[in-house]
Chain A
Amino acid sequence: MKAQVRLWWRLWCAQWRAGPVRMLVPVIALALGVSLATAVQLVNRSALAEFEQAARRLSGDADLVVRGPVAGFQEGLYPLIARVPGVAVASPVLELHVTLADRREPLQVIALDPLRAAQLQPRLLGELAGERRAFFAPDRIFLSARAADTLGVRSGDRIEVLVGSSRRSLEVAGQLSAAAYPRAVGLMDIAAAQWRLDRLGVLTRIDLRVARGADIDTVRAAVARHLPPGMSVAAPAVDDARLASASRAYRVNLTMLALVAVLTGAFLVFAAQALSLLRRRPALALLRALGVTRGGLARALAAEGVVVGLIGATIGFMAGVALARWMLGAVAGDLGAGQLESLSGALIVGPGDATAFILLGAAMGGAAAWLPGREAATQPVAQALRAGDASAAFARVRSWRIGGAVTGTGVVLALLPPVQGLPVFGYASIGALLLGGVLLAPAAAGGLLGRWPAPRAAEARLAIAQLRGSSARTAIGFAAIIVSFSLMVAMAIMVHSFRESFIAWLDQALPADLQLRLGQGGGSATLDAAGQEAAREVEGVARVEFRRSRPLVLRREAVPVQLVAMEIGEGGVPALTIVKDGGPVPGTPAWISEAMEDLYRWRTGEHVTLPLGGGHTLAVTIAGVFRDYGRSGGSVVVPRAAYVEAGGDSAANEALVWLHRGAAADVVVAALHARLGIGEALQVRTTGEVRERSLRSFDRAFAITYALEAIAVFIGLLGVGVAAASTALSRRAEFGMLRHLGLLRRQVVAMLAEEGLLTGAIGTGCALLLGGVLSLVLVHVVNRQSFLWSIDLAVPWGTLAMLSAVLVVSAAAAALIGGRAAAGGDAIRAVREDW
């Protein structure tokens, strides 16, 4: 055993000395694969850590959180809860979004009892240690550095907030550092906030710390017994609606990309190892003849793969960290359409990562060498020594049957439901379909090549014969193209489909000339009846349709649903993109977004009662389902008249404005601002402006996707090049022989270019086909299950044609460059080497 290890080591070193380039090829491939996986993973994790941290800071270190309706609950409950056995600390919290007089976006305010909160959120309040007293003052607010920054205020300045239709002024008492509080937020004393912000006696949350040794579940049950209907107690969770949906969209993208990275990387490693072993088959057969056992050879090759993996992964990890750092620096501002507020290039890398990725690379190297190594070890020795040909290699893997079975599994997986809201089986389906495609493609390509008409030129005939003859090599070439390109095709189709559907939805949602909004994200400002009348009387305004949009809590642990009360004419709702129409219904109709079907299992024709708060309810019948790209948490549209009558308020916070013919939009906008006098909290935009802004933010959200995808494709192309180069290297003797036969160097190069072109063209064709199938899974399974909304398939033909052309040309160029090196210089002498 020891003798063999020593022998192997010596052989390995000798090969390095003799042909460093050949030996370097798998190392480079491995480094590329690992660097891609490392980069995407690190970016992914830095982003997710950011989300999680933000969420954690909101809920502090509480064990349990008591919640009620979004509007809050009476504080009389607080002493009851605080006295429940097992509750060590109970901290009352009032969370609300206040509309600022001169800002569009509302400010999130968290109001606390500083003494109690200090026990639960030490990080949050630690900084205020010296200023506790200032905290109790009635009109003081502490701002996070980010909030102070956005608002352009410093300690001592005052900010104006709108409560209902009146203004209140608060003094900025101090700042919280960005480290303790990265998001834009204001902190107030709870009593001061209840008073100054018109929420007397109201709480929205009670944070609980369970006594040491007490069982959380027992305490939860005890607390739950004290809660009136409509309230709940649960462990804290990521529950900020905006955060959750941003993070979800982001996760889906990155998961998809990580999948691309890992698959492309793993495939590169496998292809490089397989090619390198293919080249060495006769030499390995000689060792078998000399007395190396099958198992010994397979183990040695796997060990060699591990060593190659260790070296390649070490280089790849360092390159990956550099790549991740560059990506974060270059595109951090655009990550998730600016939803990631403080992802300022903070890359999280520890020694554990280095170990994990390098070990992963080593394992990948070993695993990738295992199958071809076993194949090489079990090949018939006599035959391999005789012809030195590798055409029989991988015959088993290349059967229709295995490929068909794997593809079938992929199709079945695509039909399975999501797991805890995540399209786990959807991703698995993509992996299976990809593998199935890789297994089926060579067989398909073989059939195609078999029928290809024989060209006149000798070198072209040779090119086709070589592709037909050495099917293992050809298969690897195809697979390299298919893996790197089909996923890219699928992503391109998905993003394009999403964009087209988004535009169609946007156009439908914006029927009027102007769109008017008060505050955003559930801010506190509204227009009362007088304000609505004033808006109607503005010069140039032909018609105004007011809407009331507010959160609706249907299930306590879930993100609140958006309730929109709007004017509904005889012909239904023109502003909604209806995907299911239930026709006229008896009683009050309501339309639900697709997410409601999935989250609450509501169906058209069903009767439901909506809790409007304050004891009021609205009974409706579901008349249809619409598409809503604005909110993934679900939304319900009801007639405004019925909403007001049922005891919902008559205030409005959104409006569609139609202008008189000839009225100038900007004049009307200015007049509306002047007339309503709400300042910047009132947002009036022309339809064109809204459309343009929405599209810009859509494109920004996908910017990171494009960047990562481009890198994946670039590395995939490098892989194609590496495969071509290593193939060319292993065919030096063949080139030498052809030169002996009288082929000009130019002809050898032309032959290689034609091989590359053919491989590229057929591979690209297969990749387009497979990519189309994968895009169906992405659009109808992964996307549908992640976002709970549907997309209509739309194919970006122009982009795909351009990408295909680039790929085919690159494949030919890669073959050409690899071939020129191999066919030049001492190729003629290479024929003397008898492998």
Chain B
Amino acid sequence: MTAAPPGPVLEVTGLAKRFRADRAPVFANVSLRLAAGEYVAVMGESGVGKSTLLNLIAGLDRPDAGSVCVGGAELTTLDDDGATVLRRRQMGFVFQAFHVLPYLTVAQNVSLPLDLLGVSRQEVAARAAAMLTAVGLGSAAARWPRELSGGELQRIAIARALVHRPRLVLADEPTGNLDPRSATQVLALLREQVRAAGGGGLLITHSLAAARTADRVLVLSAQGLEPLA
């Protein structure tokens, strides 16, 4: 939002997570560094812990060990409220299921993060409209989610993730529900918008083609994060 402070957008070191004591940990030692303007893809087998990693980075779950640093703030030392406020200001989310509220119009859905931040009405309207135009849905502002296609809904989700210019965008299989053509469109859009916002982006995907749209591709396994061979 404001002038980007120097240093990485995201710094993850030695992260470990285990759900149940009687089972092996999901992963034991994950480290990752994301510079401003960098857009990284993470791949891995199903069940290896990609979504878990994303949740830890977002502060939606707690690691057993290691640290997560977002924009210079150490997430693991924050309480739930602190993490929530950090999320509100600095992060944007795109989910596999679109999670667009059915009872709000397209423009209202996109405005949600700005409303939460207490931005003035006029500015909200202007920024939401600009964001919708940027994702190619400028004319759909007054429509209802039920009237849109899956690809269009995901573009709205992207607009919602970026409208408040977060420093870090987290996307968990954003194209999992889309046809290849829409997928290509959405991925291009996501990359373009993350760059425009000047923050970092983390894309989780199963598709190599999708991963190749990123600057770097990493693979998650029980051993940790490795660059794609």
Q: Judge whether A295 and B81 touch: CB under 8 Å.
A: yes
Which residue of B has the minimal Cβ distance to A388? Answer: B97
- A105 to B99 Cα, complex, angstroms: 78
Q: Distance (Å) between the CB of B80 and the closest chain A CB?
A: 5
Bitwise interface map of B from 77 to 112 toward A, beta carbon under 8 Å scored 1, else 0: 000110011011101010101111111100010001
CB of B51 within 8 Å of the partner chain: yes
Which residue of B has the minimal Cβ distance to A17? Answer: B103
Q: Judge whether B102 and A10 touch: CB under 8 Å.
A: no
Q: Judge whether B146 and A832 touch: CB under 8 Å.
A: yes
Residues of A at the B interface (CB closer than 8 Å) are 2-4, 6-7, 10-11, 14-15, 17-19, 282-283, 286-295, 380-382, 385-386, 829, 832-835
Q: Judge whether A291 and B116 touch: CB under 8 Å.
A: yes
Q: Distance (Å) between the CB of A198 and the closest chain B CB?
A: 85
CB of B16 within 8 Å of the partner chain: no
Q: Judge whether B103 and A14 touch: CB under 8 Å.
A: yes
Which residue of A has the minimal Cβ distance to B88? Answer: A291
- A382 to B95 Cα, complex, angstroms: 11
Q: Judge whether B116 and A382 touch: CB under 8 Å.
A: no
Q: Given contacts A294-B80, A295-B81, A833-B146, are A289 and B118 in contact (CB under 8 A)?
A: no
Q: Distance (Å) between the CB of B162 and the closest chain A CB?
A: 13
Q: Judge whether B89 and A291 touch: CB under 8 Å.
A: yes
- A716 to B81 Cα, complex, angstroms: 40
Q: Judge whether B101 and A10 touch: CB under 8 Å.
A: no
Contacts of B116 in A (CB 8 A): 3-4, 7, 290-292
CB of B115 within 8 Å of the partner chain: yes
- A286 to B101 Cα, complex, angstroms: 9
Bitwise interface map of B from 25 to 39 toward A, beta carbon under 8 Å scored 1, else 0: 000000000000000
- A2 to B98 Cα, complex, angstroms: 28
CB of B192 within 8 Å of the partner chain: no
* A-B CB proximity, top 7 nearest: A291-B88, A3-B118, A18-B103, A7-B115, A382-B55, A293-B84, A293-B81
Instruction: Report the tally of A-B residue pairs with Cβ distances under 8 A.
Output: 80
22 A/B residue pairs, CB under 8 Å, sorted by A: A2-B118, A3-B118, A6-B115, A11-B101, A18-B102, A18-B103, A19-B103, A283-B101, A287-B112, A289-B58, A290-B113, A291-B87, A291-B113, A292-B88, A292-B116, A293-B84, A381-B60, A385-B95, A386-B51, A833-B102, A833-B146, A835-B102
Contacts of A287 in B (CB 8 A): 112
CB of B61 within 8 Å of the partner chain: yes
Residues of B at the A interface (CB closer than 8 Å) are 51, 55, 58, 60-61, 80-81, 84-85, 87-89, 91, 93, 95, 97-104, 108, 112-113, 115-119, 146
Q: Distance (Å) between the CB of B56 and the closest chain A CB?
A: 9
Q: Judge whether B55 and A290 touch: CB under 8 Å.
A: no
- A291 to B89 Cα, complex, angstroms: 8
Contacts of A7 in B (CB 8 A): 112, 115-116
- A835 to B97 Cα, complex, angstroms: 10
Dominant secondary structure of chain A at its interface with chain B: helix
Besides A386-B51, A834-B98, A835-B102, 9 more A-B contacts (Cβ < 8 Å) are: A3-B117, A10-B108, A11-B104, A288-B84, A291-B87, A293-B84, A382-B61, A832-B146, A834-B100
Contacts of A10 in B (CB 8 A): 108, 115
Q: Distance (Å) between the CB of B23 and the closest chain A CB?
A: 17
Q: Judge whether B80 and A293 touch: CB under 8 Å.
A: yes
- A657 to B60 Cα, complex, angstroms: 88
- A291 to B117 Cα, complex, angstroms: 9
Q: Judge whether B87 and A289 touch: CB under 8 Å.
A: yes
Contacts of A6 in B (CB 8 A): 115
Q: Distance (Å) between the CB of B103 and the closest chain A CB?
A: 3
Q: Judge whether A3 and B115 touch: CB under 8 Å.
A: yes
Q: Judge whether B108 and A290 touch: CB under 8 Å.
A: no
Q: Judge whether A293 and B85 touch: CB under 8 Å.
A: yes
Q: Judge whether A14 and B108 touch: CB under 8 Å.
A: yes
Contacts of A829 in B (CB 8 A): 146
Q: Distance (Å) between the CB of B75 and the closest chain A CB?
A: 14
- A283 to B55 Cα, complex, angstroms: 17
- A295 to B99 Cα, complex, angstroms: 22
- A382 to B19 Cα, complex, angstroms: 13
Q: Judge whether A289 and B103 touch: CB under 8 Å.
A: no
- A829 to B145 Cα, complex, angstroms: 13
Contacts of A288 in B (CB 8 A): 60, 84
- A6 to B119 Cα, complex, angstroms: 11
Q: Distance (Å) between the CB of A374 and the closest chain B CB?
A: 13
- A106 to B226 Cα, complex, angstroms: 103
- Identify which of A290, A294, A833 contacts B81 (C-beta below 8 A): A294
Contacts of B84 in A (CB 8 A): 288, 291-294
Contacts of A292 in B (CB 8 A): 84, 88, 116
Contacts of B146 in A (CB 8 A): 829, 832-833
Q: Distance (Å) between the CB of A381 and the closest chain B CB?
A: 5
Q: Distance (Å) between the CB of B132 and the closest chain A CB?
A: 18
Contacts of B113 in A (CB 8 A): 290-291
Contacts of A385 in B (CB 8 A): 95, 99
Q: Among A2, A833, A834, find the residue whose CB has the most chain B CB atoms closer than 10 A.
A: A834
- A283 to B87 Cα, complex, angstroms: 17
Which residue of A has the minimal Cβ distance to B112? Answer: A290
Which residue of A has the minimal Cβ distance to B105? Answer: A14
Contacts of B99 in A (CB 8 A): 282, 286, 385, 834
Which residue of B has the minimal Cβ distance to A6? Answer: B115
Contacts of A380 in B (CB 8 A): 60-61
Contacts of A832 in B (CB 8 A): 146
Contacts of B93 in A (CB 8 A): 289-290
Contacts of A282 in B (CB 8 A): 99
- A51 to B118 Cα, complex, angstroms: 59
Contacts of B85 in A (CB 8 A): 291, 293
Contacts of A18 in B (CB 8 A): 102-103
- A291 to B160 Cα, complex, angstroms: 13
Contacts of B80 in A (CB 8 A): 293-294
Q: Among A287, A295, A833, find the residue whose CB has the most chain B CB atoms closer than 10 A.
A: A833
Which residue of A has the minimal Cβ distance to B153? Answer: A834
- A7 to B116 Cα, complex, angstroms: 7
Contacts of B55 in A (CB 8 A): 382
- A725 to B103 Cα, complex, angstroms: 20
Contacts of A17 in B (CB 8 A): 103
Contacts of A833 in B (CB 8 A): 102, 146
Q: Given contacts A4-B116, A291-B87, A385-B95, are A15 and B103 in contact (CB under 8 A)?
A: yes
Contacts of B112 in A (CB 8 A): 7, 287, 290
Q: Judge whether B103 and A290 touch: CB under 8 Å.
A: no
Contacts of A15 in B (CB 8 A): 103
Q: Judge whether A290 and B88 touch: CB under 8 Å.
A: yes
Which residue of B has the minimal Cβ distance to A8? Answer: B115
Q: Distance (Å) between the CB of B134 and the closest chain A CB?
A: 19
